[in-house]
Structure 1
Amino acid sequence: MKITHVEVHRVHVPAASPPFRWREGLGGSAPAGDGAVLRIGTDEGAEGVALFARPGAAAMLEDLVERVFREELIGQDPFRREWLWHRVWELDRIQELPLPTFGLIDIALWDLAGRVYGQPVWQVLGGFRRAIPAYASTSTFATTEEFLDVADQCLALGYQGIKLHAWGDARRDAALCLALREHVGPDVPLMYDGSAGFDLPDAIYLGRALAGADYLWYEEPMREFSISAYQKLAESVPIPLLVAETSDGAHMNSADFIKAGAATFGVRVGTTLRGGVTGAMRTAHLADAYRIRAEVHGSDIPNHHLCMAISNTTYYESLVTASTVRRERHVDDQGLVHAPTGPGIALPLDLEYGKELQQYIEGATT
């Protein structure tokens, strides 16, 4: 079997409704725009696709396919995923590829393989579980009272934990985290994501508050350029750290965070920022060797498969971006997400942009 065509199809990515925001300095939800589907086909009719559901993604991906990816892929065996994954890293040496594009070829090839085998990708990967609890991962709301109300709604809907994305002010965020713990009681798992908003002194201050409130993990308080700063943070606070979400290098730089003692809860994995399915699985196995967690980042469908395949992950991350909370469609009333059943990754190959594809896009961007 050989790859014979590599195509980019533009798809409309709707704006979040209602719009939402992140911490001070990061802005908020994107306006509607053109996302893209990467489609890889073969001489035997097997095909695989990957969605790049980011407004403005279409032009970026079209350029990469025309300049770089099509020439590399045409004529190749689509089952040589490892070799092609390494080729993308080689290409990056000159091309400086945008981080979210690293895994697109890999995702499409895993989708193709699953369709050929007639199995969902999580089963092709070996399969570990058929259901996983979901936590509610908030956007940033205006007041403490609004956060507490959202938390009440999430717990009533069955979510089994809550993670805060707050304002990016260490003292204000610490007060919010303490208020939430007092509000929900001692038994609800709580997490905090700093979205890289702090320097080391403020990260230490906030980390000590989180430890006192018995938060499960402390995620990305600083930009992930300085592993030394994270090493010092780990030495200074008892709250377990979840690290290596956005830094380039997949399992390679995750290894350096672990070696430095900075990944005291675990490392982030995911198809979008850690090099597709292959990069995520490499990172998860590395973390497992050190007996730490590999927590899956993001609530799109490829990461749904990762949650079912990775043994050392704890939760499915489900975004909650509106003050009137609705459960994500993958989450049941017990707060569980169940394994996909369709072959491949289950982005439909029908590119007429019908209801099923629209549901997929909405699930990946809201």
Structure 2
Amino acid sequence: MKITHVESHRIHVPPTEPPFHWRDGLSGSPATGDGAVLRIGTDAGVEGVALFARPGAGVMLDDLVDRVFRDELVGQDPLRREWIWHRMWELDRIQELPLPTLGLVDIALWDLAGRLYDQPVWQVLGGYRDKIPAYASTSTFDSTSEFLDVADQCLKLGYRGVKLHAWGDARRDAALCVALREHVGPDVPLMYDGSAGFDLPDAVYLGSALSEADYLWYEEPMREFSVTAYRQLARLVRVPLLVAETSDGSHMNSGDFIAAGAATFGVRTGTTLRGGITGAMRIAHLADAYRLRAEVHGSDIPNHHLCMAIPNTTYYESLVTSTSVRRERHVDAEGLVHAPTSPGIALPAEFGYGATLSPYVERAA
């Protein structure tokens, strides 16, 4: 079996309503629903697709397909995923590929394999579980009272924990985190994500508050350029650190955080920023060797499969962006997410799944 065509298709991804934002200084939902689908086909008639949805995705993927991916992939065996994964990293040395594009080819090839074997990708990966609890991962709201109300709604809807994305002010955020613990009591798992908003002194201040409030983990308080800063933070706070979410290098970079003693809870893994499914699995296995968690980042469909495939992840991350909370469609009334059942990754039809693209998809010029 050989790859015969590699295509980029423009799509419209409906923006989140109502719009949301992260901490001060960071936007949230994009104003336009720009997106693209990478489609890889073969001479055997089986194909695979991967969704790329972020501002500029269409232009970016058109360029990469025309300039890099097509020439590299046509004629290759699509089941040689390891070789192709390594080849993408070789190309990155010169191309400096945008971080979210490094795993796109890999995701499409895993989708192709699942369709070929008529199994969901999580089963092709070996499979570990068929359900996992979900936590509610908030966007940033305007006031402490709104956060507390959202937490109440989430817990009533069955979510098994709550993670805060707050304002990026260490003292105000610390007060919020303590208030939430006092509000929900000692038994609800709570997490905090700093969205890289702090320097080391403020990260220590906030981490000390999280320690006292018994938070399950403390995530990305600083930019992940300095492993040394994270090592210092791990020495100075008791709250466990979850690290290496956005740093380049997949398992190679995650390994440095672990070796430095900075991953006191574990490392982030995921298909979007950690080199696709192959990169995410490498991180999970690396963390497991050190008896650490590999928490899956993001709630897109490939990460849904990933949650079912690895043993050392705790939760499915379900984004909550409105003060009027609705459960994500994958989450049931008990706060559980169940394993996909369709072959491959099962990208929805409106995102280009199947032999015929949706009418909403515009073929790239």
**For this structure pair, what is the TM-score category when the shorter chain's length is used for normalisation?**
over 0.9
SS at match of 2:97: coil
Give the aligned partner of residue 291 of structure 1.
291
Partner-residue secondary structure (3-state), 1:148: helix
Matched, 1:186 2:153: no
Letter in 1 for 2:127: G
TM-score by length of 1: 0.96
CA contact (8 A) 1:14 1:31 kept: no
Q: Which residue of 1 aligns with 2:100?
A: 100
* Cα pair 1:13 1:55 within 8 Å, conserved: no
SS at match of 1:86: helix
What TM-score, normalized by structure 2, do the two folds share? 0.96
Which residue is equivalent to 1:244? 244
Structure 1: runs of 5+ lacking an equivalent:
358-366
Cα offset, 1:83, TM superposition: 0.2
User: SS at 1:39's partner residue?
Assistant: strand
Tell me which amino acid in the other structure corresponds to 1:231.
Answer: R
Unaligned runs of 5+ in 2: 348-352
Distance across 2 between alignment mates of 1:58 and 1:120: 27
What displacement does 1:14 show?
1.2
1:313 matched to which residue of 2?
313
Mapped contact 1:292–1:312 kept (Cα < 8 A): yes
Aligned to 2:38, the other structure's residue is in SS state strand
Change (3 A) 1:237 1:351: farther
1:116-131 matches, cutoff 5 A: 116-131=116-131
Distance 1:178 1:68, change over 3 A: same
2:65 equivalent in structure 1: 65
- Partner SS, residue 40 of structure 1: strand
Task: Map 1:1-366; keep pairs closer than 5 Å.
Answer: 1-347=1-347, 348-349=353-354, 351-353=356-358
Say which is worse superposed, 49-58 or 182-191, in terms of deviation: 49-58
| Shift, 1:33, TM fit | 2.9
Shift of 1:55: 3.1
Q: Which shifted more, 13-22 or 169-178?
A: 13-22
Percentage of identical aligned residues: 80
CA deviations over 1:37-87 (Å, ceiling 9, x no partner): 000000110100000011320100000111111000000000000000000
The answer as to whether partners of 1:33 and 1:56 remain within 8 angstroms in 2 is: no
Q: Distance in 1 between matches of 2:182 and 2:168?
A: 21
**1:93-145 CA-partner distances (Å, limit 9, x unpaired):** 00000000000000000000000000000000000000000000000000000
User: What secondary structure sits across from 1:55 in the alignment?
Assistant: coil
The alpha carbon displacement at 1:350 in A equals: 5.0
After TM superposition, give the deviation of residue 352 of structure 1 in Å: 3.8
Paired residue secondary structure (1:11): strand
- The 1-side partners of 2:320 and 2:120 are apart by 26
Distance of 2:262 and 2:9 partners within structure 1: 41
One-letter identity of the residue aligned with 1:117: Y
Cα-to-partner distance string for 1:10-54 (whole Å, 9 max, x where unaligned): 110111100001001112210123300000000110100000011
Residue range with higher mean Cα deviation, 19-28 or 99-108: 19-28
SS in 2 for 1:239: coil
Where has structure 1 moved over 6 Å in runs of 4 or more? none
Is the 8 Å Cα contact of residues 11 and 353 (structure 1) preserved in structure 2?
no
Corresponding residue of 2:350: none
> The residue matched to 1:314 in structure 2 has which SS?
coil
Partners of 1:34 and 1:207 lie apart in 2 by 37
Q: Distance in 2 between matches of 1:233 and 1:28?
A: 27
What's the Cα RMSD here? 1.0
Separation in structure 2 between the aligned mates of residue 351 and residue 137 of structure 1, nearest angstrom: 34
Please give the secondary structure, in 1, of the residue aligned with 2:195.
coil
Distance 2:358 2:317 in 1: 26
Q: Kindly state the Cα deviation for residue 257 of structure 1 after the two structures are TM-superposed.
A: 0.1
What residue identity is the alignment partner of 1:178?
V
In 1: Cα distance, 2:122 partner to 2:115 partner = 12
CA distances 1:274-319 after superposition (whole Å, capped 9, x unpaired): 0000000000000000000000000000000000001000000000
Range with bigger deviation, 337-346 or 26-35: 26-35
Distance of 1:107 and 1:29 partners within structure 2: 23
> 1: distance between equivalents of 2:339 and 2:220?
28
